[in-house]
Structure 1
Amino acid sequence: MADTSSQVVQNYFDTFFTHDVDKTLDCLTDDVEWRVQGATDVPTIGVRHGKEEVREWLQLFPQHFEPLDFEIARMFENGDQVVVIGHFTHRIRDTGKEFSSDFATICTVRDGKLAAYNFLEDSYGLWDAFQSVSTKD
């Protein structure tokens, strides 16, 4: 019996937090479309296509983010579409600031793998957390 779309998405998140890039990439289709919304001067923001571009994202993430908390509150499934809502807190390694946000992720599953991933968060709060603290003379 095949996994449900929600189980495929949950497996992706569980695998992502093991920090094993190759196993995480195995959760994705070869032609995956990967979107993280927000200001493009934040290194992990933007659209990526295919596993190799997502590999770059997976390698960037731990360079800039230290996950402190990540909670999935609910998953809503309709066929191959899954919407995940939750909350997270990360420390931004570039600035030392903590950043917390509610999030929603819209996923499309095909053949037991993620084919599309669209992550929505407090994009202004994320951008602000990447800004260096200015000192006044």
Structure 2
Amino acid sequence: MSTQLGILQGAYEAFGRGDIDAVMNCIAEEVDWRVVGPASVPFGGARKSRKEVAEYFRLLSESDDVTEHEVREVIDAGDHFVVLGYVKATVRATGKPFETEWVHIITMKDGQVTRWLEFFDTAAREC
């Protein structure tokens, strides 16, 4: 297993435990962090700094109660990764449960995430 892959897997495990501080230790100061989707997704949009990524995690926690978050497959291409997974959550504002598969496209350099793109079925969250 590559060092980068080990760090990435550790970050996903930390997220699963709710240890956002450990996740943040893996984020570069300057980062391309994007959740692709409509403006109605409270934690969506682009972020460019570690501080802005911390805001992403705050907004995610405030808007959705994640009850299941599963990494199903990791495709390792050196410093580039594709992570396939599944999430089950409830939208706090409406009480509506949803579940969807997701895809993360990640680039790492020197043990830190420099690019993170998320794609998921945003319609499942809003219907």
TM-score when scaled to structure 1? Answer: 0.85
Query: Which structure 1 residue ranges, 5 or more long, are not aligned?
Result: 130-137
Q: Which residue number corresponds to residue 51 of structure 2?
A: 52
Instruction: State the distance in 2 between where 1:6 and 1:100 align.
Output: 26
Query: Which structure 2 residue ranges, 5 or more long, are not aligned?
Result: none
Structure (1/2) with the larger strand percentage: 2
Per-residue CA shift, 1:26-48, capped at 9, x if unaligned?
11111011111111122111010
Count of residues in correspondence between the two structures: 127
Are the equivalent residues in 1 in contact too, given 2:63–2:91 (CA < 8 A)? yes
Q: Which residue number corresponds to residue 83 of structure 2?
A: 84
Q: Which residue number corresponds to residue 70 of structure 1?
A: 69
Instruction: State the distance in 1 between where 2:73 and 2:21 align.
Output: 27
After superposition, residues 1-137 of structure 1 pair within 5 angstroms as 3-126=2-125, 128-129=126-127
Are the equivalent residues in 2 in contact too, given 1:9–1:107 (CA < 8 A)? no
Instruction: State the distance in 2 between where 1:32 and 1:11 align.
Output: 19
Root-mean-square deviation (CA), in Å? 1.6
Q: Which amino acid aligns with 1:94?
A: A
Aligned identity (percent) is 28
Per-residue CA shift, 1:81-103, capped at 9, x if unaligned?
01010111011111101110011
Instruction: State the distance in 1 between where 2:21 and 2:72 align.
Output: 27
Instruction: State the distance in 1 between where 2:2 and 2:114 align.
Output: 15
**Aligned partner of residue 17 in structure 2, secondary structure:** coil
Q: Which amino acid aligns with 1:112?
A: G
- 1:23, distance to aligned residue in structure 2 (A): 2.7
TM-score when scaled to structure 2? Answer: 0.91
Are the equivalent residues in 1 in contact too, given 2:41–2:122 (CA < 8 A)? no
